[in-house]
Amino acid sequence: MTIARSSFYSLGLMSLFAAAPVMGAGSEENSVSFSYKPVSKWEYIVPGESWVTVDGEISIPNADEGGFLARVYGPEGAEKLDIDTNGDGRCNLTCKGLKGSARLKGKDAEGNSFTYDIRLAHSGKKWMYSTAGVMKGKVDGNNITLIDANCNGRWNDYAVDCYIDGKGDAATPITEALSLGGKLYGLEVKEDGQAATWTAFEDETGTLDMTKEYEGKGKLISALVESTDGRFQFNLADCKKGLTVPSGSYILKSASVKKRSLSAKIAKGEMKPFEVPAAGAFALEWGGPVTAVYDWTEDNGKITVSPKALKFIGKAGEEYMGFAPSDVGPKILVTDLRSKKKLASGRFKLC
Tell me whether residue 275 is in a domain. no
- Residues 52-71 have a mean pLDDT of 94
Cα 206 from Cα 121, distance rounded (Å) = 43
Task: Classify residue 310: in a domain, yes or no.
Answer: yes
- Let me know whether 6 and 59 are in one domain: no
In percent, the amount of the chain with pLDDT more than 70 equals: 88
Q: Measure CA of the first residue to CA of the last residue in the chain; give whole Å.
A: 23
Do 10 and 55 fall within a single domain? Answer: no
The structural domain count of the chain equals 2
Same domain for 61 and 113, yes or no, is yes
Give the contacts of 192 (CB within 8 A, at least 6 positions apart). Answer: 108, 112, 114, 154, 155
Residues 110 and 57 in one domain: yes
What is the reported pLDDT for 335?
75
Which residues sit opposite 133 in a β-bridge? 38
Task: Quote the CA–CA distance of 158 and 43 in Å, as a whole number.
Answer: 23
Inform me whether the pLDDT recorded for 8 exceeds 80: no
- Considering the domain architecture, whether residues 54 and 110 belong to the same structural domain is answered as yes
Of 29-43, 114-128, 243-257, 309-323, minimum mean pLDDT range: 309-323
Q: 30 in a domain, yes or no?
A: no
| CB-based contacts of 339, cutoff 8 Å, min separation 6 | none
Name the residue with higher pLDDT: 1 or 305.
305
Pick from 71, 104, 132: which residue ends a domain? Answer: 132
Domain-embedded: residue 111: yes
Residue with more model confidence, 215 or 328: 215
CB atoms within 10 A of CB 272: 10
pLDDT the model gives residue 351: 41
3-state secondary structure string, the chain?
A: CEEEEEECCCHHHHCCCCCCCCCCCCCCCEEEECEEEECCCCCCECCCCCCEECCCEECCCCCCCCCEEEEEECCCCCCEEEECCCCCCCCCEEECCCEEEEEEEEECCCCCEEEEEEEEEEECCEEEEEECEEEEEEECCEEEEEECCCCCCCCCCCCCCEEEECCCCECEECCCCEEECCEEEEEEECCCCCEEEEEECCCCEEEEECCCCEECCCEEEEEEEEECCCCCEEECCCCCCCEEEECEEEEEEEEEEEECCEEEEEECCCCCCEEECCCCEEECCEECCCEEEEEEEEECCEEEEEEEEEEEECCCCCEEEEEECCCCCCCEEEECCCCCCEEEEECCCCC
Regarding predicted confidence, which is higher, 326 or 72?
72
| Higher per-residue pLDDT: 133 or 351 | 133
Q: In terms of domains, do 127 and 74 share one?
A: yes
Among residues 295, 30, 299, 5, which one has the least CA distance to residue 139?
30
Kindly give the pairing relationship between strand 183-189 and strand 195-200: antiparallel
Segment 12-23 mean pLDDT: 47
Confidence band, pLDDT 50/70/90 cuts, at residue 15 = low
User: Is the predicted pLDDT of residue 132 greater than 80, yes or no?
Assistant: yes
Is residue 138 included in any domain, yes or no? no
Summary mean pLDDT of the chain: 89
Dist CA 297 CA 1 (whole Å)? 5
Query: 328 or 101: which carries more pLDDT confidence?
Result: 101
pLDDT at 18 over 60: no
Question: Does the pLDDT of residue 22 top 80, yes or no?
Answer: no
Q: What percentage of the chain has pLDDT greater than the value 90?
A: 74
Domain boundary among 99, 115, 132: 132
9 shares its domain with 66: no
Choose between 294 and 224: higher pLDDT.
224
Cα–Cα distance for residue pair 304/315, rounded to 1 Å: 27
Please report whether residue 62 resides in a domain: yes
Are 120 and 59 part of one and the same domain?
yes
User: Of 132, 153, 187, which residue sits at a domain end?
Assistant: 132
**Residue 202 belongs to a domain:** no
**Mean pLDDT, residues 256-282:** 96
Domain that holds residue 123: 48-132
- 6 and 63 together in one domain: no
| 334 or 217, higher pLDDT | 217
Q: Is residue 234 in a domain?
A: no
Interval 161-194: pLDDT, tens? 999 999 989 999 999 999 999 999 999 999 999 9
